[in-house]
Structure 1
Amino acid sequence: MDADKPICGREVDSQYVELAVEVFSMLADATRVRIILALRDVDELSVNHLADILDKPPSAVSQHLAKLRLARILSTRQDGQRVFYRLENEHARQLVSDAIFQAEHSLGGVPRHHHVQTGERS
């Protein structure tokens, strides 16, 4: 009877709530948030380039990338021996940006992002 109705993921009793918690859990790591921030304005980056940006060993960054890929937050492209990572969609970028904006509110006063004109947020 209701099988043809689309399920709204934003309802209190939504089946997506637990999945959303898993996404938050996946992002509850500073290195992973920094990876998403590094990827937000580029098409893709290699493991070594991300390791340089984050000032972390490539092996450590690679472990975080693997987790983000399993969570379908990132996707990959391989070119010979090199693997390039990119954000799967814009939602992780927006989620991390909103979390940063919320963190700015916790400092008190008028957050920096409220001083930026519409369309210039980064």
Structure 2
Amino acid sequence: MIDKILVNANIFSMKQAIISSFANTTRLKLLICLKSGSKNVTELIANCGLSQSAVSQHLEKLRAAGLVTGVRDGREIVYRLRSQKSGELAKSLLNFAKEVDKK
């Protein structure tokens, strides 16, 4: 039983960057914006209503967590979700938060 708890604790510590990404509202916005498809930084700024520095800073954290990838396309980088499940989870968390706020 103790071994199982330790294994679970190790899994959570390894995935802390992923879990903390979903706890940040700015990163949630970016994940939800990317759910509809690949976008460059300019498109993310326009669609998410965030500053360029905020988008760049949070995209780097999402990349480090393994949630998004970036591919160079000429002079810009186009970002996409590594898995659609992360966009779906972000949307579900936002909907859940709205539901809890109503009560």
* TM-score normalized with structure 2 length: 0.80
Cα distance in 2, alignment partners of residues 70 and 20 from structure 1: 11
Matches within 5 A, 1:1-122: 13-14=7-8, 15-42=10-37, 44-106=38-100, 107-108=102-103
Identity %: 26
Structure of greater Rg: 1
State the shift of 1:16 in Å. 1.9
Runs of 4+ in 1 over 6 A off after TM superposition: none
Q: Which runs of 5+ in 2 are unaligned?
A: none
Q: Which has the higher contact order (CA 8 A, sep 6+)?
A: 2
State the shift of 1:26 in Å. 1.9
Q: Which runs of 5+ in 1 are unaligned?
A: 1-10, 109-122
State the shift of 1:98 in Å. 2.4
Residue aligned with 2:33, SS: helix
Provide the alpha-carbon RMSD of the alignment: 1.8
State the shift of 1:96 in Å. 1.1
* TM-score normalized with structure 1 length: 0.69
State the shift of 1:34 in Å. 0.5
Q: Hey, which of these two has a bigger chunk of helix by percent? A: 2
